[in-house]
Amino acid sequence: MQSSNSRSCDSRDGSESSGDHEPGHGVVFGEASGSVRYEDPWYEALASGWGESATVSGPPGEAPAARREPADKAVAAAQIYLEVQRSAAFQEVRSRYRRFVVPAVAGFFLWYVGYVVTATTAPGFMARPVVGAVNVALLAGLGQFLSTFLLTWAYSRHARLRRDRAALEVRWDTQELTRGAGGGAA
C-alpha cells in the first residue's frame, strides 16, 4: 500500500518500509525507483494513518496526549467565555456592530434588487442615453461598484472608530481571565 507522501507501507500493520526514508525534511531521492519526492515533515504528526491500512493504533477520534486538557480547566475556560459573552462590554460591542451592519446590508440589498428589477422590468428606461453612449443601465451598474467600495470604507471606518478599542479591551480582559484560570497559554 502507498501512503500519501509516496512512502510504501506494509499492508498488514501500516508500518513504513525504510528503504528510501531519511529523517528530517526536504527533497529525498529514492534509491530503488530513481524518483525525487518531497518529504513532508508534518505527515507523521498530523496525518498518520490517513489512507493507510485499517488498523490504527489507539482509539479513533481521541486527541493525542499532548493536546488533551484536564476537564476542570476546559470547564473553567468555558465558564469564563460565557461570562464574557453576558458582560455589558461585550453586549455593547455586539450592538454597535448590529446597528451598523443590519441597516447597511438591508440598504445595499434593496439597492441591488432595485437595480436588477428595474433592468428586467423597465428595459426602455435603462436603455435611455445619458451622455453619448453612456446610458442609465451603465451608470447604475457602475454605481453598484461604487456603492460596494463606499460601504467597505464606511464599515472599516465604523469598526475603527466605534468598535475596535472596546473589542480589544474585551479581548484583553478575556485573556487575563483565562490565563488566571489556567485555560489559556502562558
Rounded to an integer, what distance in angstroms lies between the CA atom of residue 175 and that of residue 179? 6
**Contact present, 9 and 52 (Cβ < 8 Å):** yes
pLDDT in tens, 79-95: 888 888 888 888 999 99
- Are 95 and 89 in contact by the 8 Å Cβ rule? The answer is no
Give the whole-number percent of the chain exceeding pLDDT 90. 37
First-residue to last-residue Cα distance in the chain: 43
**pTM across the whole model:** 0.53
pLDDT in tens, 94-106: 999 999 999 999 9
- Asked if 111 contacts 147 with a C-beta cutoff of 8 angstroms, the reply is yes
